Amino acid sequence: MELNKTFFNKLAVSEKIVFFTGAGISAESGIPTFRGKDGIWNKLKPEELANFNAFMRNPQMVWEWYNHRKKIIHESNPNAGHIAIAEFEKYFDDVTVVTQNIDNLHRRAGSKKIYELHGNIERNYCIDCKTFYNKELDFSEGVPRCKCGGLIRPDVVWFGEFLPADQLEASEKAAINSDIFFVVGTSAVVYPAAGLVYTAKRSGSYIVEVNIEETEVSSIADISFFGEAGKVLPEILEEVKKVKEKRN
C-alpha cells in the first residue's frame, strides 16, 4: 500500500489514535451483521428479542437467542484487523478502541483501552440488585436467576435503552482529543454512536474510513480505503512502522 503524502505525514506526527469499529470488522471473523442483505434483522424482528419488555414477557426465548449468539462468538477468533488495531499501541502514545460490537474480540486481540458503547455479551447482571455475573451461568431451569431471586439479563444495550453514560462520555472525550480517527466496519448511521465521527471531525481530527463500500462517512472522511479491515489495517500498520522507523 502506498499512502498519500498528507496521510503519511499525519501518521508521523500523531500521538492519539481512535478506532471506531462496527459490525463489519466482526463479520470478517464470521459473526453475522444485523443490517445488510444477509443481516440478522432481515430474518428476525428486533422487537421480539432485543428489548426489555420482550425479555420480561419471555426471558427464556431471549436467553436462547443470546446463548446462540454467544456460541457463535465463542467459536470465532479475532481477525487480522483486530490484531492490527492492537499492534498500533506499539507505535502511538494513546490508542483507544470505541466499539459498537458486543463480542469482546478487541480485548481478545490484545487491545488495552476499549470503550464498549453497546455492552458486552460476556457480561450479565441482575435486573433487581444490579449484581454482575461474568462467569458461566446456570441455565438448568431455563433462565438464570440472581442470589436475590431477580432475573439475570445480558449486559447489552437493547432497543429503547440509553448507551452507558460513562462509556459514551469517555468515547466523546477520546474523539475530541484524537489526532486520527479511524472509522472501521461501520456505516455510522446509528445514533448517538455515529455522532462521534462528526465530533472528531469538528475537533480537527483526521478521519480515515475503512469500509468495504462507500458510506455516509465517505463524504466527510479525509481519506477512504474500501476493502476488508483484515487486509487494509495490516497494510496501514506496515506503513506506520516505516514512518516510525524514519523518525527514529
CATH number, residue 18: 3.40.50.1220
113 and 128 co-located in one domain = no
According to the model, what pLDDT value does residue 248 have? Answer: 60
Q: Is 74 a catalytic residue?
A: no
Average pLDDT of 34-39? 50
According to the model, what pLDDT value does residue 159 have? Answer: 87
Give yes or no for residue 45 having a pLDDT over 50. yes
114 and 170 co-located in one domain = yes
Q: How far apart are CA 248 and CA 241, in angstroms?
A: 10
Reported confidence tier of residue 46, pLDDT bands at 50, 70, 90: low
The string of pLDDT tens digits covering residues 195-230 is 999 999 999 999 999 999 999 999 999 999 999 999
113 and 149 co-located in one domain = no
Which grid cell is 196? Answer: 462521534
2 and 100 co-located in one domain = yes
233 and 148 co-located in one domain = no
Reported confidence tier of residue 136, pLDDT bands at 50, 70, 90: confident
235 and 112 co-located in one domain = yes
3-state class (DSSP) for residue 87: helix
CATH number, residue 65: 3.30.1600.10
167 and 232 co-located in one domain = yes
One DSSP character per residue, 19-85 reads: EEE-HHHHHTTTPPPSSSTT-GGGTS-GGGTSSHHHHHH-HHHHHHHHHHHHHHHHT----HHHHHH
According to the model, what pLDDT value does residue 32 have? Answer: 77
Q: Which helix (H) or strand (E) holds 219?
A: none
Give yes or no for residue 42 having a pLDDT over 50. no
170 and 216 co-located in one domain = yes
Report pTM: 0.92
Mean pLDDT, the chain, integer:
91
Domain residue limits at 41: 32-75+124-156
226 and 175 co-located in one domain = yes
The string of pLDDT tens digits covering residues 82-132 is 999 999 999 999 999 999 999 999 999 999 999 999 999 999 999 999 999
What residue type is assigned to position 94 of the chain? D
Please state the domain count of the chain: 2
52 and 167 co-located in one domain = no
131 and 110 co-located in one domain = no
